[in-house]
Amino acid sequence: MSITREDCLALDASDPLRACRARFQLEEGIIYLDGNSLGALPHGVAEHVALVVEHEWGKGLIRSWNEAGWYVSPARVGAKLAPLLGAKHDEVTVTESISINLFKLLVAAARLRPARSEILAERGNFPSDNHIVESVARLLGKKTRFVPAGEIAQAIGADTGVVTLSHVNYRSAEVQDMARVTEAVHAKGALIVWDLAHSSGAVDLQLDACRADFAVGCGYKFLNGGPGAPSHIFVAERHLGSLDQPLTGWFGHAEPFRFDDGYRRADGIRHMLCSTPQMLSMAAFEKALDAFEGVSMAEVERKGRALGDLMIALHDERLGRLGCGLATLRDAKRRGNHVSLTHEAGYAVMRALIGRGVIGDFRAPDVMRFGFGPLYVRYVDIHDAVTAIADILERGEFKNEALAERQAVT
Ligand SMILES: Cc1ncc(COP(=O)(O)O)c(C=O)c1O
C-alpha cells in the first residue's frame, strides 16, 4: 500500500521533536534538505550576532576579550558542545576548520607513535581529508595506505601508527561502528582520528564510551552554526598531557600574554588552538547550539533514521521506475542522516528542484544528496520533496539545457 501525504502528517503529529522546528527561521514554501552542508538559521542567532557586533565590539572594543569572555570562548563553547558528542567538558574545543584541525590531530597522533611508519586512511573519504593525510605523510616521512572504510579494522598492521576515517561517509552515509573500529585500532597499538563532519548534531555520539582518541567535527552542518562556522576538536583526556600539535600559534601557548620567545604548550585542550578566535562566527555558533537545549541525541538519531527510511520507501514506490537509484544503505542502523539518490542528469534535476524551493545538494558525478536536520525537517517535507522529484522527472523538466550549466558550488 502506498504512503500518503496524510500518513506523513500523522507521523509529524506524533513526532517527539515536532516543537523544535519553531526554534528555526524557515521561510514558508521552502523544503530544506541540505542540513548536511549548511544547517538552517536558528532563531536568536541574528540578534545575538548583532548584539556582539554593536555592543561587545562597538562599545566594549578591545575590553571584550576579557569582559565579554571572548578569550575563553573556545573552551566555553567546547564545553557547551561536549554533551552532544558524549565527551567531557574539557575534552572539546572550538576553532578553525575541519581540514586544519585534522592536520593538527594527525601530526599530534603520529608524534605519539614515532616508531610506526604508516598512516592508514579511508579510500573514498571526503577528498580534503585524504589530501591532508598525504601532506602529513610527506611532511613526517610516513607512508600512506587507503582502504575502504569497512576494511579498515582488518587492515591495521604492525607499522600503522595512526588510522583516520569518517564516522559517516559524506556520499554513501555509511556509519562505522565507532566502538568496534576503535577497539581494533587500539588492539594493534595504533591511534584513531575520527572525522565527525556528518555525525555531530545528527547522531548520538559517545566518544568517551567508545574510547575514541581524537576527533574533528563540523559547526556549519547539523549543528547549524552558520556558513564557515568554526570546527571542533575532541582529544581524549588520557592524551591531553602528552599532545604535541604542529601549529604552535600563540593561542595554544601556556601564557600567550607573557610574549616569551619560546613556545610552551598550554595544559589541556587549549594547546590545540593556534590563532585568535573568529569571534563573529564563534558567537553565531555558540548561540545556535541553544537549538539543542533539552533535546535527546538518541531521539535526533532515531528521527533522522526514520526520515531516511521514509525517503527510501518513497524512492522505491515512485522514483526507481523514473531512472533514480539509491546510493545509500537501506539498513537504517548503518546509515547516517542523509540519503543519496543517483540519476544520470542528477545535477539538472537538483537545479530544477531548487527552482521549486526543494533544496538539497549535488555530489559529482551523479549523486543528489538530501540531508535531514531532525530538529526542523518534517515527514511531510520528505513526501513533498519526492513528489516534486517525480514531477520533474515525469515532465522531463530537467532536460532544459540551462539547468545543466554548473555553478561553482554544487
Ligand atoms: C567529511 C568532511 N571532511 C572534511 C570537510 C572539510 O571541511 P572544512 O572546509 O571545514 O575544512 C568536509 C566539508 O564538507 C566534510 O564533509
In the chain, where does the domain assigned CATH 3.90.1150.10 lie?
5-43+296-404
Q: DSSP characters for 91-138? A: GEEEES-HHHHHHHHHHHHHHHSTT--EEEEEETS-HHHHHHHHHHHH
CATH architecture of the domain formed by 5-43+296-404:
Alpha-Beta Complex (3.90)
Instruction: Scan for cell 561502528, then name that residue.
Output: 177
Rounded Cα distance between 147 and 154, Å, is 10
Q: Which helix (H) or strand (E) holds 194?
A: strand 191-195
Helices 379-395 and 5-13 pack at an angle, to 10 degrees, of 160
In the 8-state DSSP scheme, what is residue 377? -
- Catalytic positions are 126, 195, 220-221, 369
Q: Which of 105, 123, 126, 221 has most ligand 1 atoms within 8 Å of its beta carbon, as the pocket-test mutant?
A: 126
The rounded Å distance from CA 7 to ligand 1 centre is 36
pLDDT in tens, the chain (410 residues): 799 999 999 999 999 999 999 999 999 999 999 989 999 999 999 999 999 999 999 999 999 999 999 999 999 999 999 999 999 999 999 999 999 999 999 999 999 999 999 999 999 999 999 999 999 999 999 999 999 999 999 999 999 999 999 999 999 999 999 999 999 999 999 999 999 999 999 999 999 999 999 999 999 999 999 999 999 999 999 999 999 999 999 999 999 999 999 999 999 999 999 999 999 999 999 999 999 999 999 999 999 999 999 999 999 999 999 999 999 999 999 999 999 999 999 999 999 999 999 999 999 999 999 999 999 999 999 999 999 999 999 999 999 888 888 888 87
CATH number for domain 71-292, candidates 3.30.590.10, 3.40.1280.10, 3.40.640.10, 3.30.70.2660: 3.40.640.10
Q: If we measure between CA atoms, which residue out of 337, 315, 293 comes closest to residue 390?
A: 315
> Is the minimum distance from the CB of 170 to ligand 1 under 6 angstroms?
yes
Three cell numbers, residue 250: 600563540
In the chain, where does the domain assigned CATH 3.40.640.10 lie?
71-292
| Amino acid, single-letter form, for residue 175 | V
pTM: 0.97
Q: If we measure between CA atoms, which residue out of 24, 48, 22 comes closest to residue 35?
A: 24
